[in-house]
């Protein structure tokens, strides 16, 4: 994928691969959003203008909102739920399900994105989808959303996104999850589109490689910066929402940062910088106790237990 020419000046902390990942995510998001707009025009579908809310500022076309996905909009990590769906469809074996289960258990226990675990999950996903058609995975992704993701959307965060939509502003997901999965979730929630990790494909078939690096940390900020430049947005008038301290670079870009269900480091940073906080969880203890039930199917629960036991033996 050719590098885009409209990227604005970057922070020193961003690597070349972060920039490439951000540019690729922004380009993919804009193409998907434009395609959806064209489809709506062709079908003649539209919704009545909603009643004008007090907040955010209505009619500000240079403002937009950027939402992290995992544990901000949705409980758990999208890539793990996607892996469960692929296992159900026999894309991989039981031992790989155990691996996914352990990663999901870690995510729920720690309440934060661990780069090593997230990278391991992405490597697993890339090896699984290699050789499959993009259209096939998109179709399966629609089914997986209904099976594992739809009931895990945080109502409070969903309401925040809707407030921006009702104000006439665009709302984007910004996530390390595959852009195809993120796009499905964004469309189902009625959002504008999604910035996500871009997997390389040739003639519609996945190669097993990424374009740049996963859209994580500084790469998210690069994607938001690139999209804002392309869409003529004023970042000082934009809002961003995340649960993770890894997204501080993205949150720091906008004039209205929000810490949603924040991890300890982000909560501390948000308080120090007078950022707004929202927490829609019922309690950390309840979340930890509920891990086996949250695993959904018996096989996944068993895989989680096996992985935890193996982890304890290795310590």
Q: Which residues are catalytic?
A: 68, 70
Q: How far apart are CA 57 and CA 64, in angstroms?
A: 10
Given a contact cutoff of 8 angstroms between Cβ atoms, the answer to whether 224 and 250 are in contact is: yes
Return the residue matching tokens 């064209």.
38
d(CA 307, CA 303): 6
Contact 4, 26 (CB under 8 A): yes
Q: Tell me how long the chain is.
A: 315
Written as six digits, the tokens of 31 are 């193409």
Q: Which of 197, 188, 31, 69 is nearest to 129 (CA)?
A: 197
Using alpha carbons, select from 79, 220, 89 the residue that is nearest to residue 149: 79
Taking alpha carbons only, the member of 26, 131, 127, 75 closest to residue 293 is 75
* Omega within 30 of 0 (cis) for the link into 102: no
Q: Cα 270 to chain center, whole Å?
A: 21
């Amino acid at each position: 994928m050719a590098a885009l020419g409209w990227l604005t000046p970057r922070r020193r902390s961003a690597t070349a691969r972060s920039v490439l990942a951000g540019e690729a995510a922004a380009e993919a998001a804009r193409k998907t959003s434009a395609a959806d707009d064209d489809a709506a025009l062709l079908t003649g579908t539209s919704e009545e203008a909603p009643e004008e809310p007090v907040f955010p500022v209505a009619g500000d076309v240079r403002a937009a909102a950027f939402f992290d996905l995992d544990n901000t909009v949705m409980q758990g990590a999208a890539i793990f739920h996607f892996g469960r769906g692929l296992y159900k469809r026999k894309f991989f074996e039981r031992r790989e399900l155990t691996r996914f289960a352990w990663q999901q258990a870690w995510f729920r226990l720690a309440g934060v994105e661990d780069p090593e675990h997230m990278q391991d999950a992405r490597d697993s996903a890339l090896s699984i989808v290699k050789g499959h058609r993009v259209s096939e995975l998109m179709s399966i992704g629609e089914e997986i959303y209904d099976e594992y993701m739809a009931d895990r959307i945080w109502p409070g965060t969903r309401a925040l996104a809707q407030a921006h939509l009702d104000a006439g502003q665009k709302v984007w997901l910004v996530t390390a999850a595959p852009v195809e999965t993120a796009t499905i979730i964004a469309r189902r929630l009625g959002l504008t589109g999604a910035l996500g990790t871009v997997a390389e494909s040739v003639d519609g078939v996945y190669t097993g490689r990424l374009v740049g690096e996963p859209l994580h940390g500084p790469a998210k900020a690069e994607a938001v910066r690139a999209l804002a430049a392309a869409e003529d947005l004023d970042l000082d008038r934009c809002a961003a929402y995340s649960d993770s301290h890894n997204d501080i670079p993205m949150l720091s870009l906008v004039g209205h940062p929000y810490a949603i269900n924040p991890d300890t480091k982000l909560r501390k940073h948000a308080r120090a910088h007078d950022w707004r906080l929202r927490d829609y969880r019922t309690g950390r203890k309840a979340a930890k106790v509920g891990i086996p039930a949250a695993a959904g199917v018996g096989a996944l629960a068993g895989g989680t237990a096996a992985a935890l036991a193996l982890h304890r033996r290795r310590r």
